[in-house]
Structure 1
Amino acid sequence: MSGLAVYAAGGVVWRLVDGKLRVLLIHRTKYRDITLPKGKVDPGEMLAETAVREIHEETGIRTVLGPPLGVSHYKLPSGREKIVHYWSAEATEAAIRESSFVPNDEIAAIEWVGLKKAHARLSYPVDIEILEHFERLVDDGVLHTFPVVALRHGKAVPRDEWDGRDALRPLLPRGKEQAKAIVGGLRAFGVRRIVSSDAVRCVKTVVPLSKAIGRRIDETELISQDAWEDGAADVRQVVGRRIRSGKPAVLCSHGPVLPEILTELALATGTMRGSYLADAAALEFGAFSVVHVSATNPGSGIVAIETHAPKI
């Protein structure tokens, strides 16, 4: 009997060997098939977090995620629908050296192959379709990317229930839970730099991430709501620095400021503006949009945008 859909996540894991592109296929023991690494979502896990964990569990390789590659849908023998989200995921030489993979009851072998051979070897059409999405990144020359993440702070004490300065409004218990719940999702994209509005509700939202990755929080009023309402914000300066750095970063700010952050990300990368920017900026509390930018040609436009929200 069919029931609720089963969600899973995985990736096309890739590396360059002597300048030649190779992707990673897994040979499953039980099913005697060849697929892309993937697995089911654990309770409370964000999809991106699942992808990184499952890739590591199945291949022994720790990766961070690049642009999304689409979603596959298929029916399980039980009649339930399985929905699998995929990302591009680079395997660095250091990560490969540290791989702990040994053949086991689930995975008999892992194999690095070229794209043509991957097409021939993969057992399922849905995997080949995902591989074709990956090939479009290759053809477009945007395999190497870095993310700039726009994050809305967690749920805070409402303004009309707070007597002090607005910037001092604390997170509610739900907001604190959201701050914890997004750590795995943000780490999945390799975030290393944390920039936050200096408002307490923003800073506290990224404290769990800061502790998890051992990086300090760069607090600034330039993307704060107070400065934005006073006309004193400078979103362009903050965004420009992040694009110039080419390093994975998160910008934690406020609902009213997020549209300007997304607009400046588009302008800084020479991207045509459109309604997709408004969609990416319309975030729930604790949600974030990941803007993928070409590492080699950041002015060539945004490669992809995706939005995630904690299950809190």
Structure 2
Amino acid sequence: MNGTHTPPNYPDPRTSANIHAAGTVLWRHAPGSVGSVEIAVIRRPKYQDWSLAKGKLDPGETPVLAAARETQEETGLRPRLGRYLGKVTYPITGHRKMKRVDYWAAQVVDGEFSANSEVDELVWCPLSTVMSELSYPMDRQIVRAFTKLPADTHTLLVVRHAKAGRRDRFKGPDEQRPLESAGHRQALALVPNLLAFGAQEVYSAEPVRCVQTVAPLAEELGGEVEIEPLLGDIGYAADPEKARDRIRSLASARAVRVLCSQGDTIPDLVRWWADRDGMRLSPARTRKGSVWVLSFAGDRLVAADHLDRSLSVDTAPAVTG
């Protein structure tokens, strides 16, 4: 292994891309070493290089799903996504095209590597040597983003309910207003994306539209949607301090939990949490069907990544070589 490849000439990172890909910094706890981690580096015989696992999005696929799928296809290892690490944008050699790759931290859940048509070797590198083993500066930049925070974080997924019918056209109590057909499609689309982050338990505010948004996920998990009144706009506004304490208690290393809430509660909650723990938020519109991926080290919020209603990263910082 070596890092002797000549880097490409990097463009302005604001340049829009017409090829989209996603990948991971795949990591594990180093065997026999308390507190140490190792990163998977793969060899691609077609390019004679050593890189991070990544690949192009399939038609209609989200970056989240592509990152998980490509990682498993190339390594044989099933990942659980964590915090977002940024994106790189670069030209494709021999083409007038730009490629964007979004990256997530991802812990190995299970599986076993076996050589395949794309990858003939995988090595686990400690942080002390991984930089010298990677062929490309852009991969090293992504790994640097990974090392800025603890590897072993736990995740809380906060979902704004999907699209519901217009309030002025619904004759019953607003709490009973259901999802419209587009909202049901959003709810179904959320399922595999939330599972990519390891979703295990599901909580919802009381409104029907909130419960319906996460019901398909609960069904897929073989569990129930637990109703939490303090997650909704009414309960949160009535006693924000009590609501925040309850929601904080749901952020746990024991399980990856999904909370479905509403449009007034979520922005205030995330902003309060970031201010409390001294973290700067990127601007984001919490639209219906979007997700905040909150990452914690202990009880401290260390990252807050927003997936817009298309489940793409909408506040993605650029990483340049």
| Structure-1-length-normalised TM-score | 0.86
Secondary structure at the counterpart of residue 311 of structure 1: coil
Q: In the alignment, what sits opposite 2:278?
A: 272
**Structure 2 equivalent of residue 253 of structure 1:** 261
Paired residues of 2:154 and 2:256 also in contact (CA < 8 A): yes
1:122 is matched with 134
Provide the rounded CA distance (Å) in 1 between the counterparts of 2:125 and 2:263: 45
Can you list the C-alpha shifts for 1:29-75, whole angstroms capped at 9, x where unaligned?
21111110011112232212211111111101111112222211111
User: C-alpha separation between the residues in 2 aligned to 1:167 and 1:304?
Assistant: 32
1:83-102 matches, cutoff 5 A? 83-92=100-109, 95=110, 98-99=111-112, 101-102=113-114
Deviations 1:244-303 (A, max 9, x none): 565321110110121333245347xx41376x28x45x3111001111111xx32xx321
* Separation in 1, partners of 2:145, 2:236: 39
Asked if 2 retains the 8 angstrom alpha-carbon contact of 1:235 and 1:260, the reply is: no
User: Partners in 1 of 2:164 and 2:154 — Cα distance?
Assistant: 30
- Output the CA distance in 1 between the equivalents of 2:302 and 2:248: 17
Secondary structure at the counterpart of residue 213 of structure 2: helix
- Give CA-to-partner distance per residue, 1:136-186, whole Å, 9 cap, x none: 22xxxx221111122110000111010001111111111111111122221
1:12 alignment partner AA: V
* 1:90–1:245 distance in 2 versus 1, CA, 3 Å: closer
Where do 5+ consecutive residues of structure 1 fail to align? none
Pairing 1:42–2:55 present: no
Cα RMSD for the two superposed structures: 2.3
Change beyond 3 A, Cα 1:125–1:263? closer
Q: Is the 8 A contact 1:3 1:80 kept in 2?
A: no
Structure 2 partner of 1:147: 155
From 37, 59, 76, the counterpart of 1:60: 76
Determine the structure 2 residue equivalent to 1:293: 296
* Residue type at the aligned position of 2:86: G
Q: Distance in 2 between matches of 1:244 and 1:56?
A: 26
Contact 1:181 1:311 survives alignment (8 Å): no
Deviation, structure 1 residue 226: 4.0
Higher helix share: 1
Among all aligned residue pairs of Structure 1 and Structure 2, give the percentage whose two residues are the same amino acid. Answer: 33
In 2: Cα distance, 1:244 partner to 1:103 partner: 36
Moved over 6 A (4+): none
Contact 1:11 1:38 in 2 (8 A): yes
Contact 2:24–2:104 under 8 Å retained in 1: yes
Does 1:283 find its partner at 2:286? yes
Q: Are 2:67 and 2:103, in contact at CA under 8 Å, matched by a contact in 1?
A: yes
User: What is the CA–CA distance in structure 2 between the aligned matches of 1:303 and 1:144, rounded to whole Å?
Assistant: 11
SS at match of 2:277: coil
Q: Is the 8 A contact 1:239 1:265 kept in 2?
A: no
Q: In structure 2, do the counterparts of structure 1 residues 65 and 220 end up closer, same or farther at CA, with 3 Å as the change threshold?
A: same
